[in-house]
């Protein structure tokens, strides 16, 4: 996870009611994976109020989400274990999406600056700037892969968020930005953490997580975003039951987002609940089969990896192998294929074929390492000399 990923979403603004209504609807569509419809609604919000920085920022956020989606980088797995990753090598984003992002985020920054000049003591004006520069930091870190390069924008987002809280402490949603930075800084490697402190960031994992939890319980435009953040952070903290409760609420609110069922299966699997994982993944695979919308890059392979892993955990090795062989035959990210070979290695060990198991685990280490998946590589490496049972 990068410094600003979770702090990129919009916060309430003083836009006119029609712009605000359209903006809220646009984000509801985006969180249901209806990106084209979301873009049209956000464009209508801009027309309703051309001076609303939140609407312009929305038109930047949607292509940022699409870039992650098309890269196959829109799941919790992508960020577990990578929260302090620096300057990772990433594919260039599609030129049209990058241009859309840059055009609208620059416009949002200009409108936010104008709002701050007009209302320097207004909490919402500081929200707008915090959210806009937070989005810029997120793009630098997650799309360009430059964590350190995002520090300047992230620092301003943190400062503006704290200023907004100082002006209006009742706005718990402000804690989403500040709390996210506090959490992320606290779990960075020591050199990066010292750099962050020198740059002016505050740390504190417990307080940061508490602030995000407060935002998730506070009725506001950013509430769903705080819930998505908690899914990741609870998984990272091993609080799988808490993560599942957040996912269940998100499934209720965004029933067309099939990836929530993928996350539910993956979270259940991490928590050692193989039968629950398989049930969630079966439901999600039925949704996937009926859904004619665009798929995330490598999505089908990821679904079959997760269900195959659940079936390995349940010791249903023949069914598991069918899923896993299908996963490795499909287009996918390197780390997905690597983790699939880890599961195939486990199957070989369960069948007492140590030579095949070692070969699969070694291949998994190579593939995960090539895709910067240290967690996946370490997991596979564990079983090279120690048979899985």
- Model confidence pLDDT, tens digit, residues 264-322: 999 999 999 999 999 999 999 999 999 999 999 999 999 999 999 999 999 999 999 99
Q: Are residues 204 and 315 in the same domain?
A: no
* Token reading at 8: 């990129």
Nearest CA to 133 out of 107, 105, 114 is that of 105
pLDDT at 13: 44
Cα–Cα dist 172/129, whole Å = 17
Q: What is the pLDDT of residues 48-85, one digit of tens each?
A: 999 999 999 999 999 999 999 999 999 999 888 654 45
Query: For residue 333, what is the domain's CATH number?
Result: 1.25.40
Q: Are residues 173 and 309 in the same domain?
A: no
Final residue belonging to a domain, choices 253, 278, 309: 253
- Its sign, for the CA torsion 155, 72, 66, 62, is negative
Confidence band for 146, pLDDT divided at 50, 70 and 90: confident
Q: What is the pLDDT of residues 333-345, one digit of tens each?
A: 999 999 999 999 9
Q: Does 262 fall in a domain?
A: no
* Token reading at 134: 């937070």
Q: Does 279 fall in a domain?
A: no
Q: Does 274 fall in a domain?
A: no
Query: Structural domain tally of the chain?
Result: 2
Domain encompassing residue 142: 5-253
Q: Are residues 320 and 193 in the same domain?
A: no
Q: Are residues 240 and 331 in the same domain?
A: no
Q: Are residues 63 and 202 in the same domain?
A: yes
| Max intra-chain CA distance, the chain | 72
Mean pLDDT of the chain: 90
Q: What is the CA 130 to chain-centroid distance, rounded?
A: 19
Q: Does 13 fall in a domain?
A: yes
Q: Are residues 152 and 70 in the same domain?
A: yes
Q: Are residues 322 and 198 in the same domain?
A: no
Q: Are residues 237 and 369 in the same domain?
A: no
Q: Are residues 111 and 32 in the same domain?
A: yes
Q: Are residues 335 and 241 in the same domain?
A: no
């Amino acid at each position: 996870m990068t410094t600003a990923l979770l702090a990129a979403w919009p916060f309430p603004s003083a836009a006119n009611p029609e712009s605000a209504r359209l903006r809220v609807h646009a984000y509801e569509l985006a969180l249901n994976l209806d990106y084209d419809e979301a873009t049209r609604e956000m464009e209508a919000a801009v027309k309703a109020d051309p001076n609303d920085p939140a609407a312009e920022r929305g038109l930047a956020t949607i292509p940022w989400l699409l870039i992650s989606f098309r890269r196959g980088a829109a799941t919790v797995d992508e960020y577990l274990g990578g929260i302090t990753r620096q300057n990772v090598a990433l594919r260039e984003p599609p030129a049209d999406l990058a241009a859309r992002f840059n055009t609208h985020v620059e416009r949002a920054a200009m409108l936010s600056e104008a709002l701050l000049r007009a209302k320097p003591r207004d909490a919402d004006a500081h929200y707008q700037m915090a959210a806009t520069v937070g989005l810029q930091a997120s793009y630098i870190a997650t799309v360009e892969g430059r964590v350190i390069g995002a520090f300047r924008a992230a620092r301003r987002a943190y400062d503006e968020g704290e200023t907004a809280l100082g002006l209006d402490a009742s706005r718990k949603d402000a804690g989403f930005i500040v709390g996210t930075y506090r959490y992320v800084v606290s779990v960075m490697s020591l050199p990066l953490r010292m750099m962050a402190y020198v740059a002016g960031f505050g740390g504190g994992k417990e307080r940061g997580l508490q602030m995000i939890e407060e935002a998730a319980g506070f009725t506001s435009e950013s509430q769903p975003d705080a819930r998505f953040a908690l899914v990741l952070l609870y998984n990272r903290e091993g609080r799988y039951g808490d993560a599942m409760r957040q996912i269940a609420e998100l499934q209720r609110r965004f029933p067309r987002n099939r990836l929530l069922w993928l996350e539910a299966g993956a979270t259940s699997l991490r928590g050692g609940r193989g039968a629950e994982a398989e049930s969630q993944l079966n439901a999600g695979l039925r949704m996937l089969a009926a859904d004619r919308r665009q798929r995330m890059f490598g999505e089908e392979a990821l679904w079959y990896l997760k269900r195959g892993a659940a079936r390995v955990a349940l010791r249903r090795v023949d069914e598991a192998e069918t899923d896993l062989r299908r996963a490795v035959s499909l287009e996918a990210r390197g780390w997905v294929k690597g983790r699939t070979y880890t599961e195939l290695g486990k199957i070989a060990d369960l069948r007492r074929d140590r030579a095949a198991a070692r070969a699969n685990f070694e291949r998994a280490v190579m593939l995960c390492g090539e895709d910067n998946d240290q967690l996946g590589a370490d997991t596979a490496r564990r079983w090279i000399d120690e048979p899985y049972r």
